[in-house]
Amino acid sequence: MHEQKGSIEKAIMKKKGWLIYDEAGLKRNIWFVEHLLECAPKYGLEPELKVLPTEGMEYRELPVQKQQMILQEFLKDLGAEKQPNDIDGVGSSAYVFAIVRVIAPMLSHALEQHGIRVFNNGMTAQIANDKYLTYRKALEWEIPVLDTCLAEKELDYPQVIKATTGHGGSQVYWVSDAGQKETVLQELLMKGMNKKEIICQRPCSDPGKDMRVYVLGGEIYGAVLRSSDKDFRSNFSLGGQIALAEPTEEQRQVIKRLYDKLHFDFVGIDFIAHEGAWMLNEIEDVVGTRMVYQLTDKDPVQDYLRYILAALI
């Protein structure tokens, strides 16, 4: 009886944590943020909004040295440099979770090292936010992907050039010859990237078409087919058309394999169509939910909060 009572009390106790964005992400997703903060108390959660001071830019676009400086100061502000279970300075941790909605794997790892439950975990953030690392892990885990290599190596034309840290269809280029490739490489290098942060990929047979599968707690939450007849990129944010879809059995097996390896919380897994099959393209760590809200009556924010509470009990 006492054990049952203790379990119930544990379930209803308010859980304090952080909702973390950078300045650019907060501005772009203000409705999502306000909705999450409004709904959280219904699920016994008290997330406090924390914003990385990035001068209006995205954290990932800053020079690495600047990222490290911001991270160090940010962790001091959170008090997370103290020992686990002493973050509030009085012997027990007031903050037990962090919803990280910024592409900052170093931050996710640092919070985990201080005993904070991070959504998504640091390993997911590290792999998902590095396209080349995603590709290499997919090969290791026997998941079908298109031929990909560092951009300084040779690959037949045409090619798709990508920054390894690009997001939302940004820094993705179609090149048809060596001259175009050199122009793109110089553009990316001028932005402060090095050659090991740029990859080239064999184009898929059906450009302008892909499927995003949303996964919450290892279960498929929904899937959206994206297409564009104007751009080889099908991203919704770039004007792509969207429709609900049903993942194939092969896609489901890939998702299960990824979940077994990464144990992510809420992600988008993107597949591209190639010669009658679906190939893994990317894993979206800080996945957007606009398409779900537009196409369904689901509320991803409330479903995510419900999941987070269950994970913390």
**CATH architecture of the domain covering 147-201:** 2-Layer Sandwich (3.30)
What is the location of CATH 3.40.50.2300 in the chain?
2-119
Could you please report the per-residue DSSP string of 63-79? -HHHHHHHHHHHHHHHT
Phi/psi of residue 170, each to 5°? Answer: -80, 155
Count Cβ atoms within 10 A of the Cβ of residue 91 and give its class: 0-12 exposed, 13-18 middle, 19 or more buried.
exposed
What is the location of CATH 3.30.470.20 in the chain?
209-297
Alpha-carbon span 206 to 71, nearest angstrom: 40
Structure tokens that stand for 60 in this block? 């990932």
Alpha-carbon span 166 to 184, nearest angstrom: 14
The amino acid occupying position 250 is E
User: Given this model, what pLDDT does residue 193 score?
Assistant: 82
What pTM did the predictor assign?
0.87
**pLDDT per position as a tens digit, 19-46:** 999 999 999 999 999 999 999 999 999 9
Asked if residues 3 and 34 have their Cβ atoms less than 8 Å apart, the reply is: no
CATH 2.170.140.10 is the classification of domain 209-297 = no
Other CB atoms within 10 A of residue 193 CB: 17
* Of 28, 166, 172, residue with least CA distance to 101: 28
Alpha-carbon span 247 to 119, nearest angstrom: 24
User: In the 8-state DSSP scheme, what is residue 94?
Assistant: S
**CATH architecture of the domain covering 2-119:** 3-Layer(aba) Sandwich (3.40)
Q: Find residue 243's DSSP bridge partners.
A: 225
User: Given this model, what pLDDT does residue 5 score?
Assistant: 42
User: Given this model, what pLDDT does residue 81 score?
Assistant: 44
User: Given this model, what pLDDT does residue 239 score?
Assistant: 54
Alpha-carbon span 261 to 282, nearest angstrom: 15
Structure tokens that stand for 270 in this block? 């993107």
CA 171 to chain centre: 16
Phi/psi of residue 4, each to 5°? Answer: -65, -45
What is the location of CATH 3.30.1490.20 in the chain?
147-201
**Tens digit of pLDDT per residue, the chain (313 long)?**
444 444 434 455 789 999 999 999 999 999 999 999 999 999 999 999 999 999 888 898 888 889 999 999 998 888 754 444 444 443 345 899 999 999 999 999 999 998 999 999 999 999 999 999 999 999 999 999 999 999 888 889 999 999 898 776 678 899 999 999 999 889 888 887 888 889 999 999 988 889 999 999 999 999 999 987 655 444 444 456 899 999 999 999 999 999 999 999 999 999 999 999 999 999 999 999 999 999 999 999 999 999 999 999 8
Count Cβ atoms within 10 A of the Cβ of residue 201 and give its class: 0-12 exposed, 13-18 middle, 19 or more buried.
buried
